[in-house]
Amino acid sequence: MDQRIARPVARTTGLLYLALGITGMAGFLLVRPQLFDPTDAAATAAQLVDHEVLARVGITLELAVVVSQALAALWFVRLFRPVDPFSATAVGALGMMNAVAILGSTAALGTALDRALAGDTATPQLMYELSDSFWGAGSAFFGLWLIPMGLLALRAGMPRALGWFLLVGGAGYLLQTFVVVMAPDAGVLAELLVLPATVGELWMIGLLLWVGLRPGRASDVVAAGSVRA
């Protein structure tokens, strides 16, 4: 890998992955609970009408998730292709599939707001439930994209613990997808399955940013791994 390219590409990849995490958490964990009442369709419709600007912010954040996920997938391919072309392509393809799932969720949220503003109190609830289902289905692809990412981390000479956190976390995301369907009241157990993924993702983001931003010669671990591969 060209040493002059490795650092900028690593930095961009880290920034895109960071943007994916921030927009995802802001939209799904902060904005959505203020608008969606899973037990009361009328309350959901009323909150969408009363907080239209916030609803539009939520839609915008989901669009940002789609864009950052798609771009992060492409930049992961660019960064890791010299290490293992197959695994790098798998990261890109599976990341794109997750982006498509969230795009479906975005469309559902837009429909929910439009119907609420039109006075419909039933459809917005259905659209938010559909949005949740898109996120649930997308988590399977998100888990799958972490598995080849973990393999790439191992092959690229990154810390072995990072690679294993990503591998175990990816498997956890995939398993959680089935657990939520088969045992919807699993609660804390389902959340614990993805904890290794959170550790691995934050570690990967931090490492990519450190590699991309540190001064001096660009002899980063990714470039070193590409020589050994």
Q: What does the pLDDT look like over 76-128, one tens digit per residue? A: 999 999 999 999 999 999 999 999 999 999 999 999 999 999 999 999 999 99
Number of H helices, E strands in the chain: 10, 0
DSSP secondary structure letter of residue 39: T
- This prediction has a pTM of 0.87
pLDDT given for residue 212 in this prediction? 66
Three-state DSSP at 30 gives helix
pLDDT given for residue 219 in this prediction? 45
Whether residue 45 has pLDDT greater than 60: yes
Q: How far, in Å, CA of 14 to CA of 214, rounded?
A: 13
| Residue that the structure tokens 């907080």 belong to | 51
Whether residue 205 contacts residue 17, with contact meaning beta carbons closer than 8 Å, is answered with yes
The CA-to-CA distance between both ends of the chain, in Å, stands at 11
